[in-house]
Every structure is written in C-alpha cells, then in structure tokens.
Amino acid sequence: MSPTSPPESLPVAIVGAGQAGLAMSHALLERGLRPAEDFVVLDAGSAQTLSWRRRWDSLTLFTPAWHSHLPGLRMPGAQRRYPSSKDVADYLDLYRASLGVEPKWDTRAISVHPQRDDSLVLQTSTGSLRARAVVAATGPFAIPQYPGFANDTAVDGANLHSDAYRNPDQLPRGPVLVVGSGNTGIQIARELSAHRCVSIAQGSPQPRLPHRLLGVDLFRWLQLTGVLSVPSNGRIGRRISSRELVVGPGMVDLASRGVHLLPRAVDGNRDRISFADGVERRFESVIWATGYRNGFGWLPEAVVGADGTLEDGRTPIAGLYVLGDSWLRNRGSALLGGVGADARLIARHIVP
C-alpha cells in the first residue's frame, strides 16, 4: 500500500496476536463479527516469535492448566499440572486455528489517531487502516525493563535479560547474579543452582504462597475467596497490586540449594555490583529478572497517562481500548484464565 492510498477500512482492529488478542477475537466472534471481514488481528512478529516462544526452556506457569485457558477451549493434557511455556505456545496456536483467525504478521503498530467522523486511523509498518474500534492487546510483557545502572555493567560472561535467557548452557562457568526475586528470578536461580554458583539480589519483600493449601490448589482458594475478582481501583486491589505474588517455593528453598541471598542491587561498575548493604561483589554473568514494560508506546499520551484509571478497558479516546495489561480490571486481567472476561466487556462496548 502506498503512502497516498486511502486507508483500508474495517470495523475493528486488534493489535497483538497473543493471548489477549485471541481472547478479544473470541469475544467478537461471540457477538457475530467475522475474522478478516469484520475484524483483523495485527502483530509485529510472527507465530514463532510470540512471547511464549521466547521464554526460557524450563519455565512453568504458577497457575494450573485448569486455570490457564481462554474461553471455549481447555488446554489439552492433565488439568492439575503447571504448563510449560511450550505447552502455552502450542495451545495458543491451537486456539488461533480453532477461531479461524490468521493475523497479519510482521505488522507493527506505529500510532493511532481519532478522526472527526469518530473513526480511528491506525498507522502501521505496512500501511494505514481505518477502523471504528482499535484494541491494544500487546500485553504487559512486551519490552524488557532494566534498572538504570545496568548500562554500567559489563561482565566477562553473559549479561542478559530474562527475556533472552533460555537455559544454563548460555552461561560460561563462574559466579552468576540473578537480579530480581519475583517468580521469574526465583525459577531461573533455582535452575542455575544445579550448574553454577548463584546469587540472587532481592528487591522489596514479596508475599509468597504455596501451590497448594491444605491439599487444595491455591487458585481454588483464590477463586473461592474472590481475590481474583477484586477490582483494581478499590482499596484492597490497590494494596495487593503493588507487589508481585510469588507462588511456589521461595527464598528459603533457594538457600537450601546453595543460592546466596543478597540485598537489593543498587549500582554497577563493569563486573562489580554494589548492594544495599554497602558491599561490592564481582560476578562472571548477570541475568536481569527485572520485569517488562507494556507495548503501549504507540498509543496517544492521553491513554498512556491514564494507566491505572482505565475502566473496563475503555480509554479517554472513543473507540480505543486496552486489553491484557496487569491489573487492568483485576488480578486476572493479564492471566490466561482471566483475560477472556475483560475481552467480553470490551466486545459489548464495540457491538452493543
């Protein structure tokens, strides 16, 4: 499409072909819209580069399979297991095929602009698209996030974000520091502890819960107590959303495996990292398990600035919605088992 061509026109454009984009597709299908004719799904990558295909080899979800599926199709296999990243990636491929949705791959969203006729023009890397509604479904795990001092760290071995970590073979022999003690950092440190001398830098104390309580899966308890549906804008929601919940074995388990528990990492100078206790230590490799930023940089400032105050995925711009972000509506908003409910709410606004 040439820059001077009129924009292609469709009722709905969904940006992101991961779990949120597929949940949105299902919700629109439920309301009678047809893929390719009434809505289109765009993604900057390919089916082989979606986020679940990029995770480390041994990753497992902290949610069981029975709570890790999108509307209308259960994840295959034993429902009490904790699925691997490959399980999830294969499941999303199966789900996409079941919907009959074929995304426009290698199409990156650049910007979106409201028009006088209440439509939206979405600028992409392959041309422009005019739509009555646009759903930003790129999710909260789009762009690796580093602390400011990461740029001053230059170790001799591997120096990579958890997004680029795959397995211990990537790292040379020598002491390894994992920066970040959330679920990702703990899982990676546990795996590496069987192969390397590992330390983990802890940030703020994080609440931890086991996979099972009194013989019952943790997520059954969370369902029964209503924790998963606590609104993000309520007093309780604001309190519990401020810290990541660690599910499964925690720091005590790591210590029993020989992992050195260190305080917060606060500065870096080549192969030496400084910690909150004033001690400086040297490492051969560093893995930054320091989280992600969402992929909403293409959205107008009025939307980005409204983060945390969006209602049911609606933004200050008519026809523009956000889906799949952490705590968008409640704890389940970014989870496989919860994003479908948010998608249905947005679909009701798009197709009353």
Q: What is the pLDDT of residues 285-329, one digit of tens each?
A: 999 999 988 888 899 987 875 554 566 789 999 999 999 987 777
- Do both 282 and 307 map to the same domain? no
In a 13 Å sphere around the CA of 125, the CA atoms on its Cβ side amount to: 12
Domain-located, residue 1 = no
| pLDDT tens column, 44-77 | 988 887 888 888 999 999 899 999 999 999 999 9
| H and E: helices and strands count for the chain | 8, 20
Banded model confidence at residue 237, pLDDT cuts 50, 70, 90: low
Among the residue ranges 72-81, 128-137, 206-215, the one predicted with the least confidence is 206-215
Tell me, yes or no, whether 279 and 322 share the same domain: no
Domain annotation covers residue 308: yes
Q: Which pLDDT tens digit goes with each residue over 331-340?
A: 778 889 999 9
Specify if 159 maps to a domain.
yes
Is residue 84 within 8 Å of 59, Cβ to Cβ?
yes
Structural domain contains residue 218 = no
Domain of 99 in residue numbering reads as: 8-142+294-350
Closest CA to 127 of 267, 3, 265, 306: 3
Same domain? 154 vs 258: yes
Provide the number of structural domains found in the chain: 2
Using the predicted structure, report yes or no on whether residue 204 has a pLDDT greater than 60: yes
Residue in 305, 138, 147, 134 with CA at minimum distance from that of residue 123: 134
Mean pLDDT, range 15-25, rounded to an integer: 96
Residue closest to 47 by CA, chosen among 120, 105, 129: 105
Spatial neighbors of 342 by CB under 8 A, at least 6 apart, are: 23, 312, 313, 323, 324, 328, 329, 332, 333
Mean pLDDT for the stretch of residues 248-259: 92
326 by DSSP, 3-state: which? Answer: coil
Q: Half-sphere exposure of residue 239, counting CA atoms within 13 Å on the CB side?
A: 6
Report the alpha-carbon distance of residue 65 to residue 16 in Å, rounded. Answer: 23
Q: Higher pLDDT residue, 205 or 297?
A: 297
What's the rounded Cα separation, in Å, for the pair 19 and 210? Answer: 26
The two structure tokens encoding residue 273: 């990292």
The C-alpha angle 86, 177, 273, rounded to 5 degrees, equals 145
* pLDDT value for 1: 44
Query: Could you give the angle at the alpha carbon of 126 between the alpha carbons of 121 and 131, nearest 5°?
Result: 25
Looking at every residue in the chain, the average pLDDT score rounds to: 88
The most confident of the ranges 21-25, 182-186, 219-223 is 21-25
Claim to verify: residue 272 and residue 343 sit in the same structural domain: no
| pLDDT score of 131 | 96
Q: Give domain status of residue 2, yes or no.
A: no
Q: Do 282 and 152 lie in a common domain?
A: yes
In the sheet where 176-179 sits, what is the strand order? 159-161, 285-288, 176-179, 198-201, 260-262
Do 253 and 318 lie in one domain? The reply is: no
**Are 77 and 192 in the same domain?**
no
Q: Are residues 173 and 275 in the same domain?
A: yes
The CATH number of whichever domain residue 95 belongs to comes to 3.50.50.60
